[in-house]
């Protein structure tokens, strides 16, 4: 198992729009493409409270590449993302990392 850590740094004041996009569109497309989420978090204390952090679970990097590329290329997703940003952009910057659990991790 591989865990992908993703952090979306939002444009000022646009975190509510990102929450709306995930609840009304993104999660449905994740389900459509077989993308399994572990959880989502907002920042209570840290450099910025305008970010969304989430984890995705993958069996391998090959699975991630196949499913993520299909999701990103989905014309319906492209249209939904564009519509959500018609007023102005939501996400200014994305960070991601791929994590492998240790032998002593509770999540394997």
Q: What is the pLDDT along the chain (108 residues), one digit of tens a residue?
A: 999 999 999 999 999 999 999 999 999 999 999 999 999 999 999 888 999 999 999 999 999 999 999 999 999 999 999 999 999 999 999 999 999 999 999 987
pLDDT value at position 47? 87
CB 22 within 8 A of CB 69: no
CB 54 within 8 A of CB 3: no
- Burial degree of 90 (CB within 10 A; 0-12, 13-18, 19+): buried
All domains of the chain in start order, with CATH: 2-99 (3.30.70.100)
């Amino acid at each position: 198992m591989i865990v992908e850590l993703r952090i979306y740094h939002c444009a000022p004041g646009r975190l509510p729009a990102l929450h709306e996009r995930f609840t009304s569109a993104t999660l449905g497309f994740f389900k459509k493409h077989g993308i399994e989420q572990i959880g989502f978090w907002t920042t209570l204390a840290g450099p910025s409270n305008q970010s969304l952090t989430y984890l995705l679970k993958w069996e391998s990097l090959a699975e991630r590449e196949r499913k993520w590329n299909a999701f990103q290329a989905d014309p319906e997703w492209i249209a939904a993302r564009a519509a959500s940003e018609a007023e102005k952009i939501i996400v200014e910057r994305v960070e991601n990392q791929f994590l492998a659990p240790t032998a002593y991790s509770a999540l394997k």
